[in-house]
Amino acid sequence: MIKAISFLRRKPGISRKEFTRHYEEVHAPLALKHFPFKRYVRNYVIGDPDADVPGFDCITEVWFETMEDCEAAAEFSMSEAYSVISDDEEKFMDRSNIVAFLVDERVFE
């Protein structure tokens, strides 16, 4: 299983409530149509929405069944067809501050 994590900020002028609503009602369903996610989790920061701490509003986690699925998602993200996703991100995310990376997840159960 391959996991990617992204730290996301809302656009200036967008409230956390508006950010969360758009992400859940519009963007997440759109992303699910275009990416082969095995699992897709959004973790929203709780606290003072006017404070710039911790510097992001959401930690997004996505899992892919195989490295091939992850690579296909990366290829899609570099294609012209990705504009359907990036155009929507422009509506509510501060795309210039997205931090994303693959991780080696270790779980105790």
Q: What are the extents of the domains in the chain?
A: 2-103
Q: What burial class does residue 70 get, using C-beta atoms within 10 Å of its C-beta: 0-12 exposed, 13-18 middle, 19+ buried?
A: buried
Architecture of domain 2-103: 2-Layer Sandwich (3.30)
pLDDT at position 79 is 96
CA 25 to each of CA 21, 29, 73: distance values in angstroms, whole numbers, following the listed order: 6, 7, 21
pLDDT at position 13 is 94
pLDDT at position 83 is 97
pLDDT at position 85 is 97
pLDDT band at 76; cut points 50, 70, 90: very high
**Tens digits of residue pLDDT in 33-73:** 999 999 999 999 998 766 666 789 999 999 999 999 999 99
Average pLDDT value for the chain = 94
The tokens 């990366």 sit on which residue? 74
Range list of β-strands (E), 9-107? 39-44, 58-64, 99-103
